[in-house]
Structure 1
Amino acid sequence: MEMENVWKVAVPEGFRFQENIRYLANANHECMYQVINNQVLKAINVDKTVFLIELSEAKCGELLVRVVKSSHSFSEANRSKITAYVRDWFDLDTDLADFYQMAENDIFLQTLVHTFYGLRLIGIPNFFEAISWAIIGQQINLFFAYKLKRRLVERFGQSIRWNGGDYWLFPTPDVIANVPVSELTSLQLSKRKSEYLIDIARSIIDGALSKEKLLAADGLEEAEKILTRHRGIGSWTAHYVLMRCFRFPNAFPIADAGLQNAIKQLARLEKKPSKEYMLQLGSGWENWQGYATFYLWRTLYQ
């Protein structure tokens, strides 16, 4: 591999590669990347070229990016866009100083920010993937959701092969928009979720729903309204997408079962916390509800 295909990406103070790779490695049913020998391998699409990138830790603590394979030749423009993708994926442009300061005085978060210090809110930069993953995961356990996603990806996605393995890209909206409902239900997706995925794909294709519209929204409430106008997207799904794809700091999926279980365990409650209890907690995490949620989710991987 030529040296121009390997470069460093600067990271903010407090970033810990090992803490982030531990999180990624714990999602051992994930099909969108692989963690092998302390390195993350992921396929991404940049300007209609598929790149297989490898992320590792440089000696100085920065991220080291290596393009191990691509479907077309590699250019300096590709390097810039791959770097932007990595920065977005690991949320490297968010300053966590205020979050850590707030968490030091919070009964639930003060221990977590020491235990998982350096963990970033690892996102889902692909808009259609983020919405699809949220819809797939509605009202089912996480293990089964991962199985359904893998079936969808391996049936309709694109892959790049390297070193005996396949690395997958999430199916594009134009593919899913033209899939019969029966093909999706054959994967064990419910009929309703199958219809939702197809409808969302078509809305993205015709421009009724776009990343640009959400980025231009005037705050969380307007962005939530834009999303929930579409069938299959309720408040929980909207907040999940706004948290994982758009980095709204105050996105707060209070109906999330994992988040409720984490709080139930930490608060030693006999039953899951009420909506009012969750909102009261969230008011103390103002503008950091997304990171608080992510750190609380992290306790479930222990």
Structure 2
Amino acid sequence: MKDKFKDNCKAFDSFIEIYTPKEFNFKECLVYLNRSDLECTHKVRDKKVYKLIKIEDNKTLVEISHNDGIMKVKFLNHIPNKIIKEKIGLHVWNMFDLSTNLTSFYESVGENFILSKLMDKYYGLRIIKINNLFECLCWAIIGQQINLKFAYTLKKRIVEKYGESVTYENEEYWLFPKVKVIANLKVEHLKELQFTIRKAEYVIDVAKLFLNKEFEKEILKNNLSYNELFKKLISIRGIGSWTADYAIMKSFSINCAFPIKDVGIQNALKNILGLEKKPELEEIELMAENWKDWESYATFYLWRSLYD
């Protein structure tokens, strides 16, 4: 993955250029990134993404744009050194999942009645990753059994209360709180933000696992298969099958994760197929036989159809 990134990246003084695959649609990615005005870990403005990225102790605000097959990552608040530039570039590369060969996905599902429509409509859309596994798991836990708007509200509260920020041109840009900060909180601290007791416990427990080095993404990524990773995740209190599959889908380069019980998947299929009621799990399992090894991308495209 790193070699592929290096072959498609060129660094300049105040920005990086990333040469994107032909199956890449920045406009479609922006639709996903801009789905809530309560999002606090990035901003979408004038067809550009603004995101604060922390590498080691270096907090760099970047402006991400795309034109004619080239993604430009511009450094705004300072110019990082060469090593940090490369790590920022790799972060953005992974965030937009640019290593995945979408041609294989399209060839695999091109004849499928359900996905062929979505493939044509959202061609070039890629799963937007959350590179930080701790942040990804926390976000998944926060979103359990509540509507999306309230989930974003809780996220905004915890980020702006306990996260780090950089101010640039009178605007504040935020990072998700550090593991150590969350691990040292008490349940009462998160209850003040309207977290339930259980949800507060789960988030703090996950932070403690990361703090104690019981859970490290690089080790998990290099040594575990999908099934092994899934089993390890669901062994954690507060993480069920949906949360585990969501985290695998959004934080790893594994495309077979499938949060099949997701209400969004059910609603999307109901709309696309013109059904009177949401399909049963057994029906979805049957449909998904045609999406084997690409369940994560099938899920992401089904979710995208809901934003219309």
What TM-score, normalized by structure 2, do the two folds share? Answer: 0.93
Of residues 185-194 and 207-216 in structure 1, the stretch that sits farther from structure 2 once superposed is 207-216
Which residue number corresponds to residue 217 of structure 2?
A: 211
Structure 1 residue 63: deviation in Å? 0.2
Of 174, 196, 199, the match for 2:202 = 196
SS at match of 1:4: coil
Which residue number corresponds to residue 26 of structure 2?
A: 17
Of residues 285-294 and 7-16 in structure 1, the stretch that sits farther from structure 2 once superposed is 7-16
Aligned ranges 1:136-147 → 2 under 5 Å: 136-147=142-153
SS at match of 2:291: coil
Of 64, 86, 95, the match for 1:55 = 64
Of residues 179-188 and 266-275 in structure 1, the stretch that sits farther from structure 2 once superposed is 266-275
What fraction of aligned residue pairs are identical, expressed as a percent?
A: 41
Which residue number corresponds to residue 243 of structure 2?
A: 237
Structure 1 residue 165: deviation in Å? 1.0
Q: What are the superposed Cα offsets for residues 249-289 of structure 1, whole Å, 9 maximum, x if unpaired?
A: 10000111111111121122232222211221222101100
Which residue number corresponds to residue 38 of structure 1?
A: 47
Of 267, 273, 277, the match for 2:273 = 267
Is residue 16–residue 89 contact of structure 2 (8 Å, CA) maintained in 1?
A: no
Which residue number corresponds to residue 159 of structure 1?
A: 165
Verify: 1:292 aligned to 2:298, yes or no: yes
Is residue 217–residue 223 contact of structure 1 (8 Å, CA) maintained in 2?
A: no
Residue type matched to 2:108 in 1?
M
What TM-score, normalized by structure 1, do the two folds share? Answer: 0.95
Of 92, 95, 101, the match for 1:89 = 95
Q: What are the superposed Cα offsets for residues 93-146 of structure 1, whole Å, 9 maximum, x if unpaired?
A: 111111111222111111111111111111100111100000000011111101
Structure 1 residue 19: deviation in Å? 1.9
Of 100, 105, 108, the match for 1:99 = 105
Residue type matched to 1:213 in 2?
I
Which residue number corresponds to residue 8 of structure 1?
A: 17
Rounded to whole Å, the distance in 2 between the matches of 1:147 and 1:238 is 22
Rounded to whole Å, the distance in 2 between the matches of 1:239 and 1:50 is 30
Structure 1 residue 20: deviation in Å? 1.5
Rounded to whole Å, the distance in 1 between the matches of 2:108 and 2:151 is 33
Query: 5+ unaligned residues in a row in structure 2: which ranges?
Result: 1-11
Task: Work out the number of aligned pairs and report it.
Answer: 298
Of residues 163-172 and 26-35 in structure 1, the stretch that sits farther from structure 2 once superposed is 26-35
Q: What are the superposed Cα offsets for residues 20-58 of structure 1, whole Å, 9 maximum, x if unpaired?
A: 223222333211100111110000101211010000114
Query: 5+ unaligned residues in a row in structure 1: which ranges?
Result: none
